[in-house]
Chains A and B, each alone.
Chain A
Amino acid sequence: MSAVNPLPQPERHFMSGNEAVARGAWEAGCRVAAAYPGTPSTEILEFVATYQDLYAEWSVNEKVALEVAIGASLAGSRALCAMKHVGLNVASDALMTQTLIGVGGGLVVAVADDVGLSSSQNEQDSRHWGRFAHLPVLEPADAQEAYEMTREAFALSEQFDTPVILRLTTRICHVKAVVVPGEREERPATGFRKNPARLVMTPMNAGYRIPLMLEREERLRAFSEITDLNRIEDGKDRRVGFVTSGPTYLHVLESFPNAPLVKLGLGYPPPMELIRALAARVEHLVVVEEVEPLLELEIRAAGIPVHGKDLLPRMGELAPHVLRPAIRAFLGEPAAPEPAPKRLLEFTTPVQVFPRPPTMCVACPHLGIYYCLSKIKNTQIAGDIGCYTLGAGHPWNAMDTCISMGASMGVALGLDKGRSEADKDKRVIAVIGDSTFLHMGMQGLLDIVYNRGNVTILLLDNSAVGMTGGQEHPGTGKDIRGLEAPKVDFRKLVEALGVKPERVHEVNPYELPILFKALRQEVKVNDTSVIITNQPCVLTDRYGHKPPYAVDEEKCTGCSNCLAVGCPAIAVTRRETVVKPNGSEKELTFVAIDSAACTGCDLCPGTCGPEAILPLAEFSRAGARL
């Protein structure tokens, strides 16, 4: 088959939505960009940092990232900050006041909602912030629009003197599509202008700014009716007209190609007259929005009869496989219109297969921690956000709470202070990673120390933001571009926060006896203790591979103790039930190590009583059969 698209090759780039946002920001002359990594937004700043002619940083958290962007905007530079949906909760304190101030250089807040919960603790709808903070919300439908709307966002920000929210979802961020980019425009900083009445938000000054913010919102509302970002697309099938925003536009087009629709690119403030015009042309109006019924309520409040969440799910992606059956049922049609529906249904019935949840990596330094935690009794373990949240799963089952970034600290203190009589001997433990600790855990630890909490804190320092792909942070000694940067000394840091030096231990998490000893000792002490582990994430260059191990079949007694480590390189080869001399039955589980995956971390040999786990090299020397 020959070429079907007339566009010349060099103009067509294949980009994810995240890369497209980065490209758009760079082209718009953005001079400062800041973010904290978080799925699905992480790659925005990674791509921004590949452009050398702007300043980019990993910030310690999203609030600081937004504040850096605010400062840069006030200095007259175009500025971007990026975060995942829960990051904007953290940054919202700054956002809710910055909206009163407005901007210097264009200020864009790119926020990525994890619609479908690919890697998040909740599923929020960041479009709420538009109404809450009286800000415009741009909602691209694919990578090309993500690129275009990022540029547009900077322009709108300056035109209306407002921060602009660029609302993305997983299906925008992590879908690669064809993007036709343009050229960079140079936007030198215009300079900081002192103006305390506008920039110093005392109650009196804020009081003057509120009417201006509300007046701006009304101008945006009028703009929303006339901008090309919002439009009606006509169609022949007038039974249902759709109101779409963000990626649902393409899902609706795919599902109902002949239906009239309103495509919203500027979702807040919504163009109510445009929507009213569509409603007048169709029998039924259906809002397709991910995920909350925001538009639906506004449309209903405007007196326009509308369907939405009465037909469609309140959570998850509204992809064609969700939309089609729901709308067909509403219209009283069979679920599948194809000529051979029975055959189709036989084919497409989902198959139930075992779950395959994410696991920790082979040789992950967290394995030793959770092996120990799973062996210690009478614990209450407050967990946190990161790869180590997987410690809540099999085989360790060693995490009891996980709420938000840094919450392990406060929750642990609360468990300690609020304990019941029955729990008086429980050992309260908090588990937190290095980056999460720097993001929002430090304040919590200070609170524990100040209030004399009886909590043992495991600070898992693996020198990376592991879950999002091993990004740098202030504890790694490198910046976003991999250049040398000041490095936090975690021992000094926790001591500075008030933890007694004798209550701080730095341990190698692969040395199980030492880790056990430190943990057993500290949970018994009625004080605040911190155990810092110090081995790097295995997915980063900092991890050094060692020669692999293998299992000597003749020595393996089937005790399965090594399986309690939870390393994915250890697999069961056979199970056997034996009857012991006293008549009781015992299940034996024999194992093998995938030597191609094993990196020789030394963890599992330490759990093997009969010493059946030996370096692979010894087997070849002895000519033993594996």
Chain B
Amino acid sequence: MNAAKTGEGKVTNILVSGIGGQGVMTAAEVLSQTALSQGYDVKKTEVAGMAQRGGVVTSHVRFGRRVLSPAIPHGEADILVGFEPAEALRWCGQLRPGGVAMVNRLRQEPPVVTLGLFPYPDDPVGEMRARGIEVHAFDAGAIARELGNLKLVNTVMLGAIADYLPFPAEILKEAILARFRDRKPALLAVNEQAFEAGRAAQAAA
């Protein structure tokens, strides 16, 4: 029998969803690299091409002793990281019962909504909660803006999931900060603040 069949353990499944240009892929990459540094087998889907142009972007991050399919099986995601409320709602069916959703409340309406062709859901977070999903929702956009850079949404969202991973939050934090320490030391402190703000925001939400 093949090693893959005998060596399976618990695989952690994290679905990151958002819109092209929001930093979904970067967040997924940081998560993957951190899991890799902890010795796990890791698979991460990359979406490129047309999705870059403001379209729907998702990345499946899976890690464990041995990861088989790169696609998170339907209904088996442990954590949904929603960079935008409607994109969290769109993918919430991928969560397992008991799974957790971290949602940035900052809405981004696509042109089809702006033009009045489709409605934006009134209360995406409420709809998710009505399904029985544990949702931690907060305005990561506002936190990032307060810290002076909208790009920090990424770090805020990573901070939000840091206490739900099978390794200590500090390890994820250090992995994020390491990306800035050499190349952009000026952004080190503000990323640490963003990370901790995300951690605190999800706990309060």
Contact = CB atoms under 8 A, between A and B. Distances in A.
Given A1-B38, A346-B132, A356-B56, A175 B73 contact: no
Contacts of A563: 114-115
Nearest to B57: A356
Interface string B41-68: 1111111111111111000000011011
B70 A142 contact: yes
Interface in A1-49: 1-5, 9, 12, 14, 16, 39-40, 42-43
Contact of B71 (A12, A178, A233, A317): A317
B95 interface: yes
A176 B43 contact: yes
A469 B48 contact: yes
Contacts of B99: 347
Contacts of A359: 53-55, 110-111
B69 A257 contact: no
B49 A354 contact: no
Nearest to A568: B54
A354 B54 contact: no
B118 A566 contact: no
A360 B111 CA distance: 10
Contact of A357 (B33, B39, B112, B119): B112
B48 A320 contact: no
B8 interface: yes
B38 A257 contact: no
Contacts of B116: 572, 575
Contacts of A9: 37
A351 interface: yes
Contact of A354 (B5, B43, B113): B113
B205 interface: no
B123 to A, nearest CB: 13
B114 to A, nearest CB: 5
Interface in B104-161: 109-121, 124, 127, 131-133, 150
Contacts of B53: 358-361, 387, 390
B67 to A, nearest CB: 8
B30 to A, nearest CB: 12
Q: Which of A320, A324, A360 counts the most B-chain CB atoms under 10 A from its CB?
A: A320
A1 to B, nearest CB: 5
A350 B91 CA distance: 7
A549 B103 CA distance: 30
B95 A347 contact: yes
A320 B55 contact: no
B40 A357 contact: no
Given A118-B50, A359-B110, A575-B116, A174 B86 contact: no
A349 interface: yes
Contact of A254 (B29, B54, B69): B69
A343 B97 CA distance: 7
Contacts of A344: 75, 96-97
A251 B71 contact: yes
A255 B19 CA distance: 29
Interface string A452-496: 000000000000000111000000000000000000000000000
Contact of A39 (B49, B114, B167): B49
A178 B64 CA distance: 12
Interface string A590-603: 00000010000000
Nearest to A324: B73
Nearest to B45: A175
A176 B132 CA distance: 33
A557 interface: no
Contacts of B191: none
B32 interface: yes
A273 B106 CA distance: 58
B150 A596 contact: yes
A234 B113 CA distance: 52
B69 A346 contact: no
B203 interface: no
B41 A5 contact: yes
A355 B110 CA distance: 9
B82 to A, nearest CB: 12
Contacts of B19: 356
A174 B28 CA distance: 13
A123 to B, nearest CB: 14
A353 interface: yes
Interface in A376-395: 387, 390, 394-395
A304 interface: no
Contact of A394 (B41, B49, B50, B115): B115
A617 interface: no
A340 B42 contact: no
B71 A358 contact: no
A348 interface: yes
Contacts of A346: 131-132
A92 interface: no
B118 A358 contact: no
A387 B53 CA distance: 9
Contacts of A566: 111
Q: Which of A43, A357, A394 counts the most B-chain CB atoms under 10 A from its CB?
A: A357
A119 B68 contact: no
A235 interface: yes
A14 B132 CA distance: 36
B73 A16 contact: no
A189 interface: no
Contact of B55 (A42, A178, A358): A358
Interface string B63-97: 01101111101110000000000110110111111
A39 B73 contact: no
Nearest to A354: B118
Q: Which of A5, A142, A233, A317 counts the most B-chain CB atoms under 10 A from its CB?
A: A5
A311 interface: no
B50 A467 contact: yes
Contact of A320 (B4, B40, B69): B69
Contact of B45 (A43, A174, A347): A174
Contact of A258 (B5, B49, B113): B5
A354 B46 contact: no
A491 B26 CA distance: 41
A517 interface: no
Nearest to A263: B2
Interface in A355-378: 355-361
A35 to B, nearest CB: 15
A247 B67 CA distance: 13
Q: Which of B29, B43, B86, B118 counts the most A-chain CB atoms under 10 A from its CB?
A: B43
Q: Which of A118, A321, A347, A572 counts the most B-chain CB atoms under 10 A from its CB?
A: A347
A394 B117 contact: yes
9 contacts: A171-B71, A174-B45, A177-B67, A253-B2, A320-B74, A354-B121, A358-B50, A395-B115, A571-B109
* Among all A-B residue pairs, the 5 with the closest Cβ atoms: A119-B49, A3-B39, A321-B74, A354-B118, A358-B53
Given A356-B56, A568-B111, 19 more contacts: A3-B39, A4-B38, A5-B39, A40-B49, A43-B48, A118-B49, A175-B45, A176-B44, A176-B45, A178-B36, A233-B1, A250-B70, A253-B5, A321-B75, A347-B95, A351-B89, A356-B19, A356-B86, A359-B110
Interface of B: 1-2, 4-5, 8-9, 19-20, 29, 32-33, 36-56, 64-65, 67-71, 73-75, 86-87, 89-90, 92-97, 99, 109-121, 124, 127, 131-133, 150, 166-167
